[in-house]
Amino acid sequence: MTAVVIPNGLRAHCEGCARVEVEAVSVRGVLAALEARFPGFGAALGENVAVAIDGEVFQDPLYEAVAPESELHFLPALSGGR
Amino acid sequence: MAEDRKYRWVGTRPIRHDGVDKVTGRANYGADFALPGMLWGKILRSPHAHARILRIDTSRAEAMEGVKAVATAADLPEQRPGGATDLSNNILARDKVLYHGHAVAAVAAITAEIAAQALDEIEIEYEALAPVLSLDAALADDAPILDTARRARGMDDTGPTNIAARVDFSRGEPDQAFASCDVVLERSYETQTVHQGYIEPHACVADTKADGLVEIWCSTQGTFTVRSLTADVLGLDKSRVKVTPSEIGGGFGGKTTVYLEPVAALLSRQSGRPVKMVMSRDEVFRATGPAAASRIELKVGATQQGQLVAATARLWMEAGAFPGSPVQAAAMTILAPYKLDHLFIEGFDVVVTKPKVAAYRAPGAPQAAFAMESLLDELAQQLKIDPIDLRLANAVAAGDQLPYGPRYKTIGMKETLEAARDHPHYSAPLGENQGRGIALGFWFNNGLNSSAEVYLTEDGTAVVVTGNPDIGGSRASMAILCAEELGIDVMKVRPIVADTETAGYTDVTGGSRVTFATGWAVVNACRVIIEDLRRRAAQIWECDLEQVAFDDGRCLPVEGSGLSHDPLSVAEIARKMGSTGGPINGQAQLSARGAGPGFATHLCDVEVDPETGHVDVIRYTAIQDAGRAIHPAYVEGQMQGGAVQGIGWALNEEYLFDDEGRMENASFLDYRMPVASDLPMIDTVIVEVPNPIHPYGVRGVGETPIVPPLAAVANAVKHASGVRMQSLPISPPRLLAALQEQAAE
């Protein structure tokens, strides 16, 4: 099961969980699993979200692979003040 | 993986390939471009910082002799939800003006003078509203709300608010951990709005053809960004916009968006002629994106031995007229360099009636580091611990977790601190009224998307085509990497920056990414060529590919292969291209990951004049981990440039507004940036802790050097004068007032 660390600002959208485990092989699958378990989570997450998978940051992560032992963090996408 | 080998060109300092054009004045910048039949475009700007637009009448301007087009926001398409609404409203205000200088209408005429006169003929009726010129004003209970429909992202429904977004990160139990600390410091820090100060104003020419195709020539950090944003604002397919970059006279992040280009394209469409627009310096200050003003409340707890235990930080940053301050990045960086088991960081993006902020070198990090590095200096002084030792004792290393989740890989933080400690500057004696400050800086660096094409000519020289405008000497780095890979002379490589229909898609020149990511694409493109050269050598020698090696610009028989041919140079094979399969080209693209974070430690000596409050920087040393310096002179240039900009931010620079929100110092005479005569030579030390992900170990270098100077200067001023300045800039009147206050106590 891939471990997903939920940032404080999103915990209200997943029953207060700080850490959720999901079965998925890609970030897209992680998002689908979270949405299935917590309807509305995807909308709360919004577009332009970056993730860190096992410490590696991906700015455009939808199709990146995750492993059962992976840990995934959601990060705010760096807008750089643009 | 970073390769450990001896290099022929990497680490050398060849003259830049674009150097002769620049020193002889022949290089073409944004304002140099012209087309036959070209019109001149001008922008009418708001005289109010905050007002509702009740009526715009352009009829008198349209009737003027020589006026060919007049445009307002009504001529732009409505944006879909989630589209480029804010950008569109920033380049031509729709219902409200949100800062003094906000664009309201535009004119194209046969001369610049007629265009300027026509602006005076446009009638606009405003309902003036109260300006919102500070964080306090924006956050007050009775604050005028810039956009009553906006709700804060990341917060429970707040109702109408000037807070556009909130972000937070946490670990452990900081409130409980503070109780166990021997010492807890809690301080507040402020920085003001500052500008990147690029010497070249924004400029463009746009030509919208009869079939709707848009061609743009402009000064920008990102041709593909201009293409994308212009297409979004005008409602066009991206393939309908072509952007060609000029040489660029500085950007520092400020040229990663658009102000003029969609407007010029619109005026061109209306008039059927090319339209040129060039901002004045006044317009650059009033209406382009500065760096965010900030307030940071920081609390740090430690043991008597100097072990950091817990920290909390609350950050507020001004976004300007539309959401998008760099507060997220500030929140992510402020505690990133230090091991902390307990932390809480909360950031707020706040809109005010000032120009929308833009990127400025390591957006958000200088303000954040000013707070953290100032507080650590105070902590070191209180604990009687050397400030470098305090930082070393708490420095992160590979495997440590960042406040926002990921873990560090190989980094050079400790190495820059140790280099600073061991540098003669750190132990040099100081005189009366002199003081020394040190500060550390961290920046993520970025990878993103890059493409590269390498074309071998029939004499074995090469052309490297990339899509990143060269703001820091990147063409020289592309040439060096190509020369190193192909084993040819670096001056036989011609690196060019191509337009959006010639180069493959490439993200903006920003995020300290070009040498790292686009350079990596160049390396990969060269390796495509090397494989092709080996194949052709095998064809010539009538042997198997596996029997051919490539080394230092030559194909040669693999040792033990039984072949005895003389090596074939790149040039020799290139001359046979027609008979061995045709042209020899390499192409590569990547989404570059693994941009190694950058760390820098700066040492600053100042002398304070106690009678005037004037601060003289008398010695400055910038030390930075570059991973591997491809062209050390340009790495040093980045380090020096970032240091100087940070010194200006620390000592002098700030936007000054009157009560109505009009900027009072919109010129280089009144907005005081440091010049060469103000400063000593900025000494540099390049530390090389290779980034293990990159084939040459490269880390980005362009942004990190602006992160430490704000605190390095402020810490030096403290040790020179006894006054700790927690609000920037440390301008003479401010410091003199603080010195007098200290004397009175």
Could B326 and A79 be called an inter-chain contact, meaning their C-beta atoms sit closer than 8 Å? yes
> How close, in Å, is residue A15 to chain B by CA atoms?
15
Angle B207-B212-B216 from CA coordinates, rounded to 5°: 30
Mean pLDDT, residues B663-675 taken together = 96
Rounded Cα distance between A8 and B719, Å, is 40
Q: Is B231 domain-assigned?
A: yes
Tokens of B31: 């304002």
B495 and B573, same domain (yes or no) = yes
Structural domain boundaries in chain A: 2-76
Identify the pLDDT of residue A81.
Answer: 34
Mean pLDDT, residues B97-111 taken together = 98
Tens-place pLDDT, residues B236-264: 999 999 999 999 999 999 999 999 999 99
Q: How many Cβ atoms from other residues are within 10 Å of residue A15's Cβ?
A: 10
Q: Look at B667 and A40; give whichever has higher pLDDT.
A: B667
Could A81 and B447 be called an inter-chain contact, meaning their C-beta atoms sit closer than 8 Å? no
Is residue B490 within 8 A of residue B480, CB to CB? The reply is yes
Chain centre to alpha carbon of residue B468 = 13
Q: Which of B573, B589, B605 is the last residue of a domain?
A: B589
Tens-place pLDDT, residues B62-92: 999 999 999 999 999 999 987 999 999 999 9
Q: What percent of chain B has pLDDT over 90?
A: 95
Q: Which of B589, B612, B630 is the last residue of a domain?
A: B589
Mean pLDDT, residues A46-54 taken together = 80
Q: Judge residue B540's burial from the number of C-beta atoms within 10 Å of its C-beta, 0-12 exposed, 13-18 middle, 19 or more buried.
A: middle
Could B154 and A57 be called an inter-chain contact, meaning their C-beta atoms sit closer than 8 Å? no
Is residue B178 within 8 A of residue B311, CB to CB? The reply is no
C-alpha distances (whole Å) from B449 to each of B214, B497, B515, B650 are: 24, 16, 12, 34
Mean pLDDT, residues B515-532 taken together = 98
C-alpha distances (whole Å) from B324 to each of B52, B352, B439 are: 22, 11, 27
B550 and B632, same domain (yes or no) = no
Rounded Cα distance between B374 and B420, Å, is 17
| CB within 8 Å of B595: residues ≥ 6 apart | B444, B445, B446, B447, B511, B512, B513, B516, B517, B691, B699, B700
Rounded Cα distance between B351 and B135, Å, is 8
Domain of B404 in residue numbering reads as 295-356+370-445+596-744
Tens-place pLDDT, residues B476-495: 999 999 999 999 999 999 99
Mean pLDDT, residues B715-733 taken together = 98
Is residue B115 within 8 A of residue B58, CB to CB? The reply is no
B157 Cβ under 8 Å from any chain A Cβ? no
Whether B2 shows a pLDDT value over 60: the answer reads: no
Rounded Cα distance between B555 and B549, Å, is 6
Please spell the DSSP secondary structure of B172-236, one letter per residue. S-HHHHHHT-SEEEEEEEEE--B----SSPPEEEEEE-TTS-EEEEE--S-HHHHHHHHHHHHT-
Rounded Cα distance between B159 and B321, Å, is 19
B546 and B643, same domain (yes or no) = no
pLDDT category at A82 given cuts 50, 70, 90 is: very low
B410 and B335, same domain (yes or no) = yes
Of B732, B626, B634, which is closest to residue B14 (Cα–Cα)?
Answer: B634
B440 and B464, same domain (yes or no) = no
B596: left (phi over 0), alpha (psi -120 to 50) or beta: beta
Is residue B105 within 8 A of residue B56, CB to CB? The reply is yes
Q: Find where tokens 């940070």 sit.
A: B646
Identify the pLDDT of residue A60.
Answer: 82
In chain B, the N- to C-terminal Cα span, in Å, equals: 59
Q: Judge residue B95's burial from the number of C-beta atoms within 10 Å of its C-beta, 0-12 exposed, 13-18 middle, 19 or more buried.
A: exposed
Q: Where are the beta strands (DSSP E) in B101-178?
A: 103-109, 123-128, 163-171
Could B593 and A78 be called an inter-chain contact, meaning their C-beta atoms sit closer than 8 Å? no
Please spell the DSSP secondary structure of A30-66, one letter per residue. HHHHHHHHSTTHHHHH-SSEEEEETTEEESS-TT-B-
B695 and B666, same domain (yes or no) = yes
Question: For the structural domain made of A2-76, what CATH number should be given?
Answer: 3.10.20.30
Q: Which of B191, B288, B328, B356 to mutate to test the interface with A (most CBs of A within 10 A)?
A: B328
pLDDT category at B3 given cuts 50, 70, 90 is: low
Rounded Cα distance between B52 and B586, Å, is 55
Q: Is B172 domain-assigned?
A: no
3-state helix/strand/coil string of B478-525: HHHHHHHHHCCCHHHEEEEECCCCCCCCCCCCCCCCHHHHHHHHHHHH
Strand duo B462-466 + B183-191: pairing: unpaired
pLDDT category at B156 given cuts 50, 70, 90 is: confident
B254 Cβ under 8 Å from any chain A Cβ? no
In chain A, the N- to C-terminal Cα span, in Å, equals: 37
Identify the pLDDT of residue A75.
Answer: 79
B642 Cβ under 8 Å from any chain A Cβ? no
Identify the pLDDT of residue A77.
Answer: 58
A50 contacts in B (CB within 8 Å)?
A: none
Chain centre to alpha carbon of residue B464 = 24
**Chain A residue with the nearest C-alpha to that of B291:** A81
Identify the pLDDT of residue A80.
Answer: 42
Q: Radius of gyration of chain A from Cα atoms?
A: 12
Could A73 and B154 be called an inter-chain contact, meaning their C-beta atoms sit closer than 8 Å? no
SS3 category, B114: helix
> How close, in Å, is residue A63 to chain B by CA atoms?
13
Q: Which of B404, B407, B445 to mutate to test the interface with A (most CBs of A within 10 A)?
A: B404
Q: What percent of chain A has pLDDT over 90?
A: 38
Of B101, B120, B142, which is closest to residue B661 (Cα–Cα)?
Answer: B101
Tokens of B246: 């000029």
- The CATH number assigned to the domain holding B627 equals 3.30.365.10
What is the complex's ipTM, to 2 decimals? Answer: 0.81
B282 and B321, same domain (yes or no) = no
Mean pLDDT, residues B106-123 taken together = 98
Whether A52 shows a pLDDT value over 90: the answer reads: no
Could B405 and A75 be called an inter-chain contact, meaning their C-beta atoms sit closer than 8 Å? yes
Could A80 and B326 be called an inter-chain contact, meaning their C-beta atoms sit closer than 8 Å? yes
Whether B458 shows a pLDDT value over 60: the answer reads: yes
> How close, in Å, is residue A79 to chain B by CA atoms?
7
B622 and B640, same domain (yes or no) = yes
SS3 category, B602: strand
- The string over B437-456, giving b where at least 16 C-beta atoms fall within 10 Å of a residue's C-beta and e elsewhere, is bbbbbbbbbbbbbbbbbbbb
Q: Judge residue B671's burial from the number of C-beta atoms within 10 Å of its C-beta, 0-12 exposed, 13-18 middle, 19 or more buried.
A: buried
Q: Which of A11-20, B93-102, B618-627, B674-683 has the lowest mean pLDDT?
A: A11-20
> How close, in Å, is residue A31 to chain B by CA atoms?
18
Q: Is B170 domain-assigned?
A: no
Chain centre to alpha carbon of residue B476 = 19
Q: What is the largest CA-CA distance in chain B?
A: 91
Tens-place pLDDT, residues B692-710: 999 999 999 999 999 999 9
Mean pLDDT, residues B27-54 taken together = 98
Q: Which of A29-43, B475-489, B519-533, B654-668 has the lowest mean pLDDT?
A: A29-43
Is residue B165 within 8 A of residue B171, CB to CB? The reply is no
Number of domains in chain B: 3
Tens-place pLDDT, residues B326-358: 999 999 999 999 999 999 999 999 999 999 999
CB-side neighbour CA atoms (13 Å) of B123: 5
Of B732, B718, B687, which is closest to residue B604 (Cα–Cα)?
Answer: B718
B439 and B453, same domain (yes or no) = no
Could B154 and A9 be called an inter-chain contact, meaning their C-beta atoms sit closer than 8 Å? yes
Is residue B380 within 8 A of residue B304, CB to CB? The reply is no
β-partners of residue B45 are B103
Q: What percent of chain A has pLDDT over 70?
A: 91
Could A79 and B328 be called an inter-chain contact, meaning their C-beta atoms sit closer than 8 Å? yes
Whether B553 shows a pLDDT value over 90: the answer reads: yes
Q: Is B689 domain-assigned?
A: yes
Identify the pLDDT of residue B1.
Answer: 56
Mean pLDDT, residues B370-389 taken together = 98
Q: Is B141 domain-assigned?
A: no
Rounded Cα distance between B737 and A32, Å, is 59
B118 and B233, same domain (yes or no) = yes
Mean pLDDT, residues B315-332 taken together = 96
Q: What's the whole-model pTM score?
A: 0.96
> How close, in Å, is residue B549 to chain A by CA atoms?
34
Rounded Cα distance between B206 and B214, Å, is 7
B621 and B506, same domain (yes or no) = no
Tens-place pLDDT, residues B463-473: 999 999 999 89
Tokens of B136: 């306090």
**Chain B residue with the nearest C-alpha to that of A48:** B82
B482 and B533, same domain (yes or no) = yes
C-alpha distances (whole Å) from B48 to each of B98, B102, B183 are: 8, 8, 48
pLDDT category at B5 given cuts 50, 70, 90 is: confident
Could B292 and A81 be called an inter-chain contact, meaning their C-beta atoms sit closer than 8 Å? yes
Q: Judge residue B644's burial from the number of C-beta atoms within 10 Å of its C-beta, 0-12 exposed, 13-18 middle, 19 or more buried.
A: buried
Identify the pLDDT of residue B504.
Answer: 98
Cis preceding linkage at B729, omega within 30 = yes
Mean pLDDT, residues B418-424 taken together = 98
Identify the pLDDT of residue A55.
Answer: 74
Q: Which of B589, B624, B652 is the last residue of a domain?
A: B589
